[in-house]
Structure 1
Amino acid sequence: MSIQGNTNIDLSGATWRRAGEGAGNDSVEVALLADGHVGMRNGNDPEGPVLIFTPAEWAAFTAGVQDGEFDRPR
């Protein structure tokens, strides 16, 4: 279970999917959770911490990814 604010988010039934194949051994996994929340974790450490995004936060994050906001400078 993960706690965001005062809301309990149950991760026990989450289905984790790899977000993409990264370089080397890097991996990120995401899971669609109750009420539209999205969980993100390090696929190499599945028992480690989980970031929980609200639907609005996830939409802003993925829009930033699509716009190249997080790309490394060349």
Structure 2
Amino acid sequence: MDDIAGPYRKSSYSGPESNCVEVAATAGGGRAVRDSKDQAGPSLRFSAEAWGAFLAVARDGEFDR
């Protein structure tokens, strides 16, 4: 399933270790997430609604240590 609608992007907060994830938009408005070290590997797909919910709780500090 190749529904990627834009390039994969890595966070500007990513360090030089390359232990990162990359995110790309999908054709349906959702997001695909993959391991930056395995670009040919599988990706997780999220609907636009699920991605929006994730961003909302992340911005609210739900995942802060």
TM-score range, shorter chain: 0.7 to 0.9
> CA-to-partner distance for each residue in 1:6-34, whole Å, 9 max, x for gaps?
xxxx2466411113333433211110110
CA distance in 1, matches of 2:55, 2:10: 15
TM-score of the pair, normalised by structure 1: 0.70
TM-score of the pair, normalised by structure 2: 0.78
Q: Is the 8 A contact 1:27 1:42 kept in 2?
A: yes
Cα RMSD, aligned residues only: 1.9
Residue ranges of structure 1 left out of the alignment (5+ in a row): 2-9
Q: Which amino acid aligns with 1:60?
A: A
Residue ranges of structure 2 left out of the alignment (5+ in a row): none
Shift of 1:36: 0.4
CA distance in 2, matches of 1:18, 1:31: 9
> What is the aligned counterpart of 2:39 among 13, 37, 46?
46
Percent identical pairs in the alignment equals 39
Q: Which one has more relative contact order, counting CA pairs under 8 Å at least 6 apart? A: 2
Question: Hey, which bits of structure 1, 4+ residues long, moved more than 6 A?
Answer: none
**1:20 and 2:12 matched:** yes
Give the total of aligned pairs.
64
